[in-house]
């Protein structure tokens, strides 16, 4: 009996090709809380982390979202152009937040990353695509189309992703990248937002909702994000993430929550 149990457990272990998940902390955004929680906390300014996730898989290194581009903060002119003139406070990016710094600590370079998966094309999710022209970049087709349209709002920095050399892989709906890494459509915050479900060998299921809900309270109290292209879809996305968490006994890793980030294992430490 003990042997049977052990073999079942071993089989379960082999169901994923993901070996490790690294949480990269890429800097902080300074924003009114209402950006994260619709209509709640208009007098509060939060310092929210921006993350990216790096997966070590049997098929190579995969990056989920691509941080913020530090070049936008490099000169006073850039700070004004990208943030000041839109009434936005500049993000904070220190040396430990730079992606190259973190990759070096892990022992790889940008060239080792063969696959990039983008939740959506807001500037805090795709800042390093210019360093990843050799990689396949997967995104939902409708997010890609919207980001290149005239309707894209101020959070879309076209210079982050409008490069002819980028190797786009356009997807529609739910899909599997490799065994143990699934992407699900969570349209609502933007036209083609997608989220990730990662199966880790020991830690179990990790759900990465990106901007479906920035803060824990978005999920606890089903509070819509500040920006949404479709409120009904945004609420459905929040509920979909919760239902996956409950059915898999999984853990949600929040992308923008200033409290949750303090308890997370940050790269070069990892989850396996």
- Footprint of Zn ion (CB under 5 A): 124, 211
The residue among 167 and 231 lying less far from Zn ion, judged by its C-beta, is 231
The residue among 56 and 211 lying less far from Zn ion, judged by its C-beta, is 211
Q: How far is the CB of 52 from Zn ion (least distance, A)?
A: 11
Q: How far is the CB of 63 from Zn ion (least distance, A)?
A: 16
Q: How far is the CB of 122 from Zn ion (least distance, A)?
A: 5
Q: How far is the CB of 261 from Zn ion (least distance, A)?
A: 13
Q: How far is the CB of 4 from Zn ion (least distance, A)?
A: 46
The residue among 27 and 180 lying less far from Zn ion, judged by its C-beta, is 27
The residue among 52 and 137 lying less far from Zn ion, judged by its C-beta, is 52
The residue among 180 and 209 lying less far from Zn ion, judged by its C-beta, is 209
- Can you give the three-state secondary structure of the chain, one letter per residue? CHHHHHHHHHHHHCCCCEEEEEEEEEEEEEEEHHHCCCCCCCCCEEEEEEEEEEEEECCEEEEECCCCCHHHHCCHHHHHHHCHHHCCCCCECCHHHCHHHHHHHHCCCHHHEEEEECCCCCHHHCCCHHHCCCCEEEEEHHHHHHHCCCCCCCCCCHHHHCCCCCEEEEECCCEEEECCEEEEECCCCCCCCEEEEEEECCCEEEEECHHHCCCHHHHHCCCCCCCCCCHHHHHHHHHHHHHHHHHHCCEECCCCCCCHHHHCCCCCCCEC
């Amino acid at each position: 009996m003990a042997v049977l149990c052990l073999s079942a457990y071993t089989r379960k272990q082999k169901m994923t090709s993901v070996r490790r998940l690294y949480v990269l902390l890429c800097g902080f955004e300074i924003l009114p809380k209402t950006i994260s929680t619709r209509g709640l906390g208009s007098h509060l300014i939060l310092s929210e982390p921006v993350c990216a996730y790096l997966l070590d898989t049997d098929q190579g290194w995969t990056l989920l979202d691509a941080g913020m581009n530090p070049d936008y903060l490099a000169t006073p002119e850039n700070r004004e152009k990208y943030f000041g003139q839109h009434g936005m406070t500049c993000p904070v990016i220190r040396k430990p937040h730079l992606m190259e710094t973190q990759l070096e600590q892990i022992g790889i370079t940008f060239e080792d990353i063969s696959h990039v998966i983008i939740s959506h094309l807001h500037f805090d999710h795709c800042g390093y695509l210019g360093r990843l022209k050799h990689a396949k970049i997967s995104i939902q087709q409708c997010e890609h189309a919207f980001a290149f349209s005239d309707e894209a709002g101020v959070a879309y920095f076209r210079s982050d992703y409008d490069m002819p050399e980028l190797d786009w892989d356009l997807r529609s709906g739910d899909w599997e990248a490799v065994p143990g890494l699934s992407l699900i459509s969570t349209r609502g915050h933007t036209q083609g937002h997608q989220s990730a479900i990662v199966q880790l060998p020991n830690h179990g299921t990790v759900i990465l909702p990106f901007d479906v809900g920035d803060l824990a309270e978005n999920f606890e109290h089903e509070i819509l994000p500040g920006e949404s292209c479709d409120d009904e879809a945004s609420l459905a996305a929040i509920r979909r993430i919760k239902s996956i968490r409950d059915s898999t006994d999984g853990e949600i890793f929040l992308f923008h929550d200033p409290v949750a980030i303090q308890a997370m294992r940050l790269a070069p430490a990892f989850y396996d």
